[in-house]
Amino acid sequence: MSTSYVVRFVLIMTTLVAVLLTVLFLGLKDQSAVNEAIFNKRAILASVKDHLPEGMVHEDLTDDQVQEIFSSRVEQVALNMSGQSLESADIVASGYKGGKAENIDMAKEKKKEEAERILPLYVYNADGGKFYIMSVRGNGLWDEIWGNIALQDDLNTVAGAAFDHRGETPGLGAEIKDNPGFAAQFKGKKIYDAKGQFTSIDVVKGGADKGAIHAVDGISGATVTADGVDEMLRRGISYYEPYFNQIKSSNPGLSN
């Protein structure tokens, strides 16, 4: 077959395929975006799954219920690294058209210089009080890991945590998500010691001491992932410290 036939064939084929895939992509884009937003909101609510409105169970939440809880009970705050809360216009200026904290893409933020990052903070108003939900992101063994950690309104005690990952080994590193026992350990742990020093929560290889309030058990066979969670928490939570300090200084009762 002649060269010109080959060139024509390839050109026509490529154009056809490109048009087909573009049409499909554009047609499904909105649906995918809605799915993604709900998926993320569900993950955020997983960190306060013990404090959901009466009669709701996290695993059984419908998409509408997730949206409903978010619009009626969650205040979204976006912060810069020095703890100032950002206006909607600032969020848009950082590249997120929606202009809300929920639009912030943690994966994109992780690639920025540390000082230029912006952070979402979700203040969840439960029947029993306020919860502050932080988003953190770090590296596991194979790929990124991330999570949401909820603090009680003393800004010290963890009310719950939920983790996810992109490519950790199922049964080993993936247990940070798959095993409800791992995230459940964080409940009741504290991120500040008695002197008010930030301690984070250590993920300890071989098991934390009984009764430790700043540590949880690691996962045997998944040391690198567990170390990743440890590092992610220490760094990720510390980003929120400036803002927490501001709240504390305006509410002297909170400082501990």
74: phi then psi, degrees, rounded to nearest 5: -110, 125
Stretch that binds other proteins, among 27-35, 93-101, 108-116, 150-158 (CB under 8 A): 27-35
* Contact by Cβ (8 Å): 242, 81: yes
Q: Applying CB under 8 A, which of residues 11, 19, 21, 107 lies at the interface with other proteins?
A: 21
Region of residue 200 (phi > 0: left; psi between -120 and 50: alpha; otherwise: beta): left
User: Which residue shows structure tokens 């929606």?
Assistant: 98
Contact between 1 and other proteins (CB under 8 A)? Answer: yes
Q: Helical H runs in the chain?
A: 3-46, 63-73, 88-93, 106-111, 175-178, 180-184, 223-238, 241-250
* Contact by Cβ (8 Å): 198, 211: no
Structure tokens at 65: 């219920």
Q: Helical H runs in 127-213?
A: 175-178, 180-184
Contact between 169 and other proteins (CB under 8 A)? Answer: yes
Contact between 182 and other proteins (CB under 8 A)? Answer: yes
CB of 7 to other proteins, least distance (A): 9
Helix (H, G, I), strand (E, B) or coil at 98: coil
CB of 81 to other proteins, least distance (A): 29
Looking at this protein, which amino acid is placed at residue 229? V
Pick 15 or 84: Cβ nearer other proteins: 15
Contact between 22 and other proteins (CB under 8 A)? Answer: no
Q: Applying CB under 8 A, which of residues 90, 154, 178, 241 lies at the interface with other proteins?
A: 178
Query: Site map for other proteins, 194-213, x if CB under 8 A?
Result: -------------xx-----
Pick 98 or 181: Cβ nearer other proteins: 181
Within residues 30-89, the interface with other proteins by CB under 8 A covers 31-32, 35-36, 38-39
Contact between 219 and other proteins (CB under 8 A)? Answer: yes
- Strands (DSSP E) found in 86-185: 118-126, 129-139, 144-152, 158-165
* Ordered strands of the 74-80 beta sheet: 74-80, 118-126, 129-139, 144-152, 158-165
Q: How many residues bind other proteins (CB under 8 A)?
A: 40
Contact between 15 and other proteins (CB under 8 A)? Answer: no
* Contact by Cβ (8 Å): 139, 108: no
Rounded to a whole number of angstroms, the CA Rg of the chain reads 22
Contact between 215 and other proteins (CB under 8 A)? Answer: no
Q: Applying CB under 8 A, which of residues 221, 249, 251, 256 lies at the interface with other proteins?
A: 221
**Closest C-alpha to 165, from 185, 128, 138:** 138
CB of 90 to other proteins, least distance (A): 29
Q: Applying CB under 8 A, which of residues 153, 217, 227, 231 lies at the interface with other proteins?
A: 217
- The contact set with other proteins (CB under 8 A) reads 1, 5-6, 9-10, 13-14, 17, 20-21, 24-25, 28, 31-32, 35-36, 38-39, 166-167, 169-172, 175, 178-182, 184-185, 207-208, 217, 219-222
